[in-house]
Chains A and B, each alone.
Chain A
Amino acid sequence: MNCLNLSKLALGAALSLSMLAGNANAEANAVRLSHGYGMLYLPLMVIRDQKLIEKHAKAAGLGDVTTSWATLDGGNVINDAMLSGNLDIAGTGAPGFITLWSKANGIPRSEVIGLGALSTASLWLNTNNPNIKSLKDFTPKDKIAIPGIKTSLSAVVLQMAVAKEFGHANYAKLDPLTVSLGHPEAVGALLSGKTEITAHFTSPPFSYQEAKDPRITKVLSSTAVLGNITLDVVFAMKQFTVQNPKLTQAFAAAQEEANAYIARDRKGAAETFLRISKIKLTQAEVETMLADPDSQFSTTPVGIMQYVDFMGLAGTIKTRPKAWSELFIDSVKSRKGS
């Protein structure tokens, strides 16, 4: 290739690159989101069902935005998908989000930020062992099933409850008894009574599924011990919120509309839940779950610093935010959270 051809090639490449770069200021027109299986993800399910993001994005002048949804349950999988750039917005447990925020703090390309709270509910510790009436009655022969040991939402909330009962130094007292099992398998194991699993610490609808059985007793309810702290949050990569401010606001508006819908139309929300999660429950059962005062869907984070303080003392996070507002985007900072 002689000099003239080479310079023509370079010019052509530069022109095409500049045309591509010209679009860099526009926001993304495709969003990838994820939610999990339980009732805690109901607002995201409503957003998915009613296509609220498309609606609010169009209203904000962003044109046609396509959304693609994945069902991801479990902090690790969600973290991996987010860090590898395969996911834009996700709902996950608060402890998992705080851990990721703490680890990624200071690494510009991996930093994450919360878009707001997602939901709170009561986690129930159900058992099929009639001898267990409180946390003190657990023996080494009992096994507690949780979705993911040590780092998942259930694991950390259980540790916090144990810390309240036995003192902060003993927060890991019941950890050797925990076993990692997905929700459906754990429900099956607990109800069958034939495995080593004698307890399950879980959220609605699985906790309600188990409680229907007369052999199952409830040992502990997380709201009784810790109050109505936010369990799940919505988060995204910081880069995403910086490059797509309008889209982020459209999502926030969509979430508010979803929360209003759930508060207003319980029947419709129950139908949405059954439709998206495909779980085998009746409409009436889901409506009962929604009627529980402990199940709240709001975007204002509550009790985040409780997690931060606990995880900081337990040594799970090295970098602690000074206030809850550091973890979330500006539009949420002004709320009365904690």
Chain B
Amino acid sequence: MKPLLKTSPPAGQPQPYKRPEIVRQPAVHDAAAIQRPLSTFENLYRHSGVRKVVILLLLALVWEVYGRWLDNALLFPSFSDTVRAFFSGIGSGVLIDRAAVSMKTLLIGYSIGIVLATLLTTLAISSRIGTDFLETLTSMFNPLPAIALLPLALIWFGLGNGSIIFVLVHSVLWAVALNTHAGFRGVSQTMRMVGQNYGLKGFKLVRLILIPAAFGSILTGLKVGWAFAWRTLIAAELVFGVSSGSGGLGWYIFENRNQLETANVFAGLFFVILIGLCVENFIFATIERKTIRRWGMQNH
């Protein structure tokens, strides 16, 4: 039998054709890739901050284009007019003074509102009559606009800061109490019973078990209360425009509207928007990150 394999033939005989080595690279198809580095766009798009800035820039662009097309600085100044008025207001210190006055009043009203809301909800969660009391009060007073109470407040508390703080507390209290109470009612029985196992009752139970467990709702309530407080404050300062002394941002807007300085009115509104953005993205976002995101209570 002839062997199948032929070893190299003896010298002198014709040699077999030795073809050149063919080396192929493995085909790396995009769809088959397991891992690849992110493109620049994807790298930037990952950050929500960048996305938000892009949205804001687009809005500013639309504003500028519309303002220029309308060409009526008295009715609707363009974005660049507003920014110029804003920086001149900041530079002369007027806007900062007014914002400081507004913030001071706001923080006083906001804190009193939160403290009262905590007391009210603690009372509510400890007894059945307390729950009914809270629910009745909230359903009565939550829909009542704070500005409607302003004339009454002026009669009771006079022309000073007291009446503004009263309407601020009214606008904050019911929103925060409602959300907190809903949050407390959503806490599972298991956690409550664990707390009761430890002998916790009343305010200690609320502080150590209920508040952390319901923090998502509480934070929502705080955000809503903050927005309500801001709105009520600016509106109260507009309506309240009583004294010619130093006022807040709402008063700045009112004064400039009287003098038909529309760019300054928009600058004041712009500042209100900026403060709102800052508080939401720095203060509330930080609180969120350090509490409910860390505890795994909120999806990304």
User: Which of A's residues lie within 8 Å of B, judged by CB?
Assistant: 75-76, 79, 83, 99-100, 103-104, 107, 109-110, 148-151, 175-181, 196, 316
Contact = CB atoms under 8 A, between A and B. Distances in A.
A151 B255 CA distance: 9
Contacts of B74: 83, 103-104, 107, 110
B243 interface: yes
B75 A110 contact: yes
A81 to B, nearest CB: 13
Contacts of A178: 244
Contacts of A180: 241-242
Interface in B62-113: 72-75
25 contacts: A76-B257, A76-B258, A79-B260, A99-B259, A100-B260, A103-B74, A103-B260, A104-B74, A107-B72, A107-B73, A107-B74, A110-B72, A149-B243, A149-B244, A150-B255, A150-B258, A176-B243, A178-B244, A179-B159, A179-B243, A180-B241, A180-B242, A181-B242, A196-B159, A316-B259
Contacts of A100: 260
Contacts of B9: none
> Which secondary structure dominates where chain B touches chain A?
loop
B245 A151 contact: no
B49 interface: no
The 9 A-B pairs with the shortest beta carbon distances in the complex, nearest first, are A103-B260, A151-B258, A149-B244, A110-B74, A175-B244, A178-B244, A176-B244, A179-B242, A107-B74
A109 B72 contact: yes
A83 B75 contact: yes
Interface in B257-295: 257-261
Q: How large is the interface on B (under 10, 10 to 19, 20 to 34, 35 or more residues)?
A: 10 to 19
B258 A148 contact: yes
B145 interface: no
B258 A75 contact: yes
Interface of B: 72-75, 158-159, 241-245, 255, 257-261
A177 B243 CA distance: 8
A42 to B, nearest CB: 26
Contacts of B73: 107
A116 B241 CA distance: 31
Contacts of A179: 159, 242-244
Contacts of B261: 103
A79 B262 CA distance: 12
Contacts of B159: 179, 196
A107 B73 CA distance: 8
A223 to B, nearest CB: 25
Contacts of B255: 150
Nearest to B245: A176
Nearest to A145: B242
Nearest to B257: A76
A75 B260 CA distance: 11
Contacts of B72: 107, 109-110
Of B75, B258, B259, chain A has the most CB atoms within 10 Å of the CB of: B258
B114 to A, nearest CB: 32
